[in-house]
Amino acid sequence: MKLNKGLFITFEGPEGAGKTTQLEMLRTYFENSDLSCIVTREPGGTPMAEQFRQLVKHHDEDEPIFNETELLLFAASRAQHVRYIIFPALQCGTNVLCDRFYDSTTAYQGYGRKINLDFIKILNRYAAGECIPDLTIVLDLPPESGLKRVSNREVVNGYDRLEQEEMSFHRMVRNGFLKIAEQEPERVKVVSALAPPEEIHCKIVRLVEDVVEKIR
Ligand code: T5A
C-alpha cells in the first residue's frame, strides 16, 4: 500500500475510549507492514503545542479559562501542529496517526460547550489548512464506562479539567461525535469501544485497508 502522500488517520471519541491503545496497535501494524508512520496527538504534538496542552488540561489557578479562550487554545495548538509536523510528514509520504483532531473541537467545544457550530467549522478549517483526515475512527462507548476505565490511572495524575465536567457534558460530547459521523459517513467511521482491544484493532485494520483501496 504505497501512496504518493501519506495517509492521515485520526482517532476520536469520549474520555477513556481506548484511542491510545488502538493507536499503538495500528502503529505496530504499519511498522510490521514496512510502512513509515508517526503517531502524534492533540492538543500537543510539538513542543509549543504541548505547552498549550498543559495549560488547557491542567490549568487550576484562580483565574478561570473561559470557553472562548479554551476553543482558541485548541485551535492554536492545531495550527502549529499541522504546519510543523503533520503536513510536512504527509508530503514526504509518511502516514500520520493522530490522537484527536478537529472533530474533538466540534464535539467538546461545539456540542459540549455549545459554541456556535458554524463558527467552529470555519475555525477548524482555518487551523487545519489542507490537512483533512482520510479516515477518522470514532471509538464509541458510554461516558460512564470510559471514565471508569481511566479512573485507576488518574489516581496517580489527578483528573484533568475536562474529565471533571458533569456527566451531562460527557453525554453531549458523545452525542456530538455520533452526529459528526452521521454527517460525514465517508470519512468518519464509528467502532464500538466495548469489545476487547484485539477485536477493535481488526475492525480498524479493515477500515484502513478500505481507505487505501479507494485512494490508491
Ligand atoms: N479536547 C481535545 C477538546 O476539548 N477539544 C479539542 O479540540 C481536543 C483536541 C485531551 C482532552 O482535551 C479535550 C478532550 C480531552 O478531554 P487526553 O489526555 O488526550 O486529553 O484525553 P483522552 O484523549 O480522553 O485520552 P485518554 O488517555 O484519557 O483515553 P484513551 O486514549 O481514549 O484511552 P486509553 O487507550 O488510554 O485507555 C484507557 C484505559 O482503558 C483501557 C486501557 O488499558 C487504559 O487503562 N482500555 C480498555 N479496557 C477495556 N477494553 C478495551 N477495549 C480497552 N481499551 C483500552
All three cell numbers of 170, joined, read 460527557
User: Domain total for the chain?
Assistant: 1
Q: Residue 118 domain-assigned?
A: yes
- Pocket lining: 74 vs ligand 1, CB cutoff 6 Å: yes
All three cell numbers of 23, joined, read 493507536
Per-residue pLDDT of the chain (216 residues; tens, 9 = 90+): 445 589 999 999 999 999 999 999 999 999 999 999 999 999 999 999 999 999 888 777 788 899 999 999 999 999 999 999 999 999 999 999 999 999 999 999 999 999 999 999 999 999 999 899 999 999 999 999 999 998 867 555 566 778 788 999 999 999 999 999 999 999 999 999 999 999 999 999 999 999 988 877
Q: Supply the CATH number for residue 26's domain.
A: 3.40.50.300
Q: To test the ligand 1 pocket, which listed residue (10, 52, 150) has its Cβ within 8 A of the most ligand atoms?
A: 150
Do residues 101 and 126 lie in contact, with contact meaning Cβ atoms separated by under 8 Å?
Answer: no
- Structural domain range at position 124: 8-215
Q: Report the atom number in ligand 1 closest to the C-alpha of 162.
A: 16
Q: Residue 1 domain-assigned?
A: no
Q: Residue 207 domain-assigned?
A: yes
